[in-house]
Structure 1
Amino acid sequence: MSTEKSKNVVVTKKARENLVKARAGAITLPKIIGMVFGEGGVSSSGTVIAPTESQSKLNKELFRKAIDGYTFPNDTTCRYECTLAESELAGKEISEIGLYDTNGDIVCIKTFTRKGKDDDVEQTYVLDDIF
């Protein structure tokens, strides 16, 4: 399991633990239900900070929101989308996002350069879960 094709995306250790337990039949894999947004994906100088697999949270979480939905662009990829409404996170600079499951666990994290969020614009974020 990977998420997108980027050095700044990581599948968390918790997600990998859940996958191996689900494959053995020990648990049912928790469903991904939302996206988490934060502003801690860059240093004070603006350099992107690579996430680590041991992270269980974003560096500076701001907001969680249910995903809009998902699609399967091919047999081994699930694409999750989440749209921030005009008023959501207005005035913030988003630099990290992740997916979370029904247990509230963050299963992947992506960091990137700051994306400003104006109060008159919707923004849609997309994460591909690729096997």
Structure 2
Amino acid sequence: MAEGVVVVSFRQKIADFLAGKEGLGQIKYMAFGDGGHNEDLTPKPADENATGLQNEICRKELSTVEENEPLSVTGKGVLEKGECVNEVISEAAIYDSNGNLVAIKNFSAKRKESDETYAVSMIIRV
């Protein structure tokens, strides 16, 4: 299970929350995209200044959210059989319930086949 890169904009939201300026939402969604890899299919480095995925294909509610390590939470997104068929998946992002980008992760490209379920788990350390 890989660690996501918590983006700067969300870290600022944490600071704003601590200063009493605005609330935080629970992590709720995972977006999947195909822009996280190079031509040779190796992953690009994740950008902590990202404002979204390079090329979002779909967004779904997280299937699970767990706090199983100190100072971290893990969100799992699942593409079911028949979803995003023949798409090349190489990036994922977690969003909170307010639609704010929390963390991103890039990985080696994988073509999603029609008869398979594809899951991405991402650890967010705070």
Same fold at TM > 0.5: yes
**Where do 5+ consecutive residues of structure 2 fail to align?**
none
The gaps in structure 1 that reach 5 residues or longer are: none
Q: What is the RMSD of the two structures over their aligned residues, measured on CA atoms?
A: 1.5
Q: Amino acid of the residue matched to residue 24 of structure 1?
A: A
- Which one of the candidate residues 1, 10, 22 is aligned to 1:15? 10
Matching of residue 36 in structure 1 with residue 31 in structure 2: yes
How many Å apart are 1:105 and its aligned residue?
2.2
**Offset of residue 32 of structure 1:** 1.3
Task: Output the CA distance in 2 between the equivalents of 1:82 and 1:118.
Answer: 16
Name the counterpart of 2:67: 72
Q: Tell me what 1:111 maps to.
A: 106
Aligned mates of 2:67, 2:26 — CA distance in 1: 15
1:125 aligned partner, one-letter code = V
Contact 1:85 1:121 in 2 (8 A): yes
Contact 1:56 1:105 survives alignment (8 Å) = no
What is the distance in 1 between the residues matched to 2:80 and 2:103?
23
Retained in 1: the 8 A contact 2:5–2:124? no
- Tell me which residue corresponds to 2:22: 27
Equivalent of residue 90 in structure 1, options 67, 85, 92: 85
Question: What's the counterpart of residue 54 of structure 2?
Answer: 59
Of all paired residues, the percent bearing the same amino acid is 28
User: TM-score, normalised to structure 1's length?
Assistant: 0.87
Q: What SS does structure 2 have at the residue aligned with 1:100?
A: strand
Residue-pair matches, total:
125
Residue 44 (structure 1) shift: 2.0
TM-superposed CA distance for 1:102, in Å, is 2.2
* Separation of aligned partners in 2, 1:75 and 1:45: 36
User: Amino acid of the residue matched to residue 11 of structure 1?
Assistant: V
